[in-house]
Amino acid sequence: MRFSELDGASIGVWGAGREIGSFARQLARRLPSAQIVAAAFDSPPGPAELKMLGSPAPRIVGAAEAVEAMSGCALVVRSPGVSSYRPELQALGAAGVPVTTATALWLAERGGARVIGITGTKGKSTTAALAFHLARAAGCDVRLAGNIGVPALDLLDEQPTEVVVLELSSYQIADLKQGPEVALLTNLFREHTDWHGSEERYRADKLRLLGLPGVHAAVLNARDARLAELTPATPELHRYGLREGWDLADDGGLARREEAALAATELPLRGEHNALNLCGALTALEAIGVELPPLAPALADFAALPHRLQPILERDGVSWVDDSISTTPESSVAALTSFADSDVVLIAGGQDRGQEYGDLARALQESGATVIGVPSTGTSIVEAALAAGVAPACAREAGDLAAAVALAGELVAAGGVVLLSPAAPSYDHYRDFEQRGERFRELAEGA
């Protein structure tokens, strides 16, 4: 369904957030005869959520009343954080009420043409930011939207651009009907099983992006074992992280078809995983036909995104680094590997999603790093580290982030790194990873 088909319709929304706010604003401005007649929330909405929906005020309901309240709607637009697998939304779908997201409406409106859709368990925001930065440096008329940049529907207020770089989460892909012209997957491992219901369904929802109508080219990371053997039925298939394409060079820089393209000292971000993210961005831009600019000058002013291996403080020879975005063990291993030449004190732990910490524990043992575990999974991480052979003096626990920062300040060696890379989500103690990262900064600056 296209956004332009909603004029005069009765619409339900479920949840709040940037996308729902963007949808409500566009509806009020462009389709004034359409009305949000019911809004469902899992907890009582505050004034900000109610104001976001506009007027006249819709019927506000909880989950128990939602199916009845929305059964007569032409469409229900859900916030991406609201699982499409919850029974109420499944019941609405079974009753013939389409359920979608604002991003899906925009993709249908544009038809996916000249859109690079980027997803993956980790690295999608950085890859999207790199692709946008390089396209702009190449003189391309480009916009950045989705989970990073502006909500996709906000682009309706602008003249169509030559290219849109769109970051997509699995929450948005799960019920997409229209794909982007180029679909890029950075990697795929266990995550968000609470939303999707199982690890298998999470992976299937990510991978379904490749099979959506409109996808002309798939761009896959050949160094990810789950993606390396995929052969999607797209007209074009591009792989990076292998010698035949964009890849890591032996000297630590970047190469294209085994020819040096960027020196290690010219890479804008630390870590092999970020070098691969750059390979993915370059491959996607080539797939959509953007002529690449000279890389070294184009990347010279690119900075790390907040909370993604972001240096926040250097004091007394010690670097404090915020990698609060790392909500999986795999991403924390990548962060740890990025500081292979430094003595690292790792602060890890957060909401328990049933993750396995064996690989992280082995990385700690092999690197000689110290780990400080914080609730709720900190105990499991420390126990795994001890089982892997990490010395008890290098596997400690703290009651909270403040205590962990204080302890890290005592344990870190001169010239070392204190790294917040939690290997777990933040929702047991913080609103989101951004709030956790900001708290880490406050504590580090006051340490």
Would the CA dihedral through 80, 188, 209, 248 be positive or negative?
Answer: positive
87: cis peptide before it, omega within 30°? no
Residue 186 · residue 127 · CB < 8 Å:
yes
Task: Look up the pTM and report it.
Answer: 0.93
Q: Give CA–CA dist 319/343, Å, rounded.
A: 10
pLDDT by 10s per residue, the chain, length 447: 888 899 999 999 999 999 999 999 999 999 989 999 999 999 899 888 888 887 667 899 999 999 999 999 999 999 999 999 999 999 999 999 999 999 999 999 999 999 999 999 999 999 999 999 999 999 999 999 998 999 999 999 999 999 999 999 999 999 999 999 999 999 998 777 888 889 999 999 999 999 999 999 999 999 999 999 899 999 999 999 999 999 999 999 999 999 999 999 999 999 999 999 999 999 999 999 999 999 999 999 999 899 999 999 999 999 999 999 999 999 999 999 999 999 999 999 999 988 999 999 999 999 999 999 999 999 999 999 999 999 999 999 999 999 999 999 999 999 999 999 999 999 999 999 999 999 999 999 997
Q: Give CA–CA dist 292/20, Å, rounded.
A: 35
Q: Within 10 A of 149 (CB to CB), how many other CB atoms are there?
A: 19
CATH number of 7-100: 3.40.50.720
Pairing of strands 99-100, 115-119: unpaired
Q: What pLDDT is recorded for position 247?
A: 98
* Residue with the two structure tokens 């740890």: 336
* Residue with the two structure tokens 């795929």: 188
Q: What pLDDT is recorded for position 447?
A: 77
Q: What pLDDT is recorded for position 197?
A: 84
What class does CATH assign to 310-446? alpha beta
Helix (H, G, I), strand (E, B) or coil at 143: strand
Nearest residue to 332 (alpha-carbon basis) of 366, 379, 364: 364
Q: Which two tokens stand for residue 64?
A: 């128990």
Q: What pLDDT is recorded for position 55?
A: 64
Residues in a beta bridge with 165: 116, 144
Q: Give CA–CA dist 191/424, Å, rounded.
A: 10
Helix (H, G, I), strand (E, B) or coil at 66: helix
Helix (H, G, I), strand (E, B) or coil at 48: helix
Residue 177 · residue 111 · CB < 8 Å:
no
Residue 24 · residue 13 · CB < 8 Å:
yes
Half-sphere exposure of 107 (CA within 13 A, CB side): 31
Nearest residue to 282 (alpha-carbon basis) of 184, 173, 167: 184
How many residues comprise the chain?
A: 447
Rounded to the nearest 10 degrees, the angle between the axes of helix 329-337 and helix 358-367 is 10
- Residue 69 parent element (H or E): helix 63-70
Domain boundaries, the chain: 7-100, 109-299, 310-446
* 291 class by beta-carbon count within 10 Å (0-12 exposed, 13-18 middle, 19+ buried): exposed
- The DSSP code for 393 is G
Give Cα 271 to chain centroid, integer Å.
Answer: 18
* Residue with the two structure tokens 């690890």: 199
Q: What pLDDT is recorded for position 244?
A: 96
Half-sphere exposure of 134 (CA within 13 A, CB side): 27
Give Cα 389 to chain centroid, integer Å.
Answer: 33
What class does CATH assign to 109-299? alpha beta
Q: Give CA–CA dist 271/417, Å, rounded.
A: 14
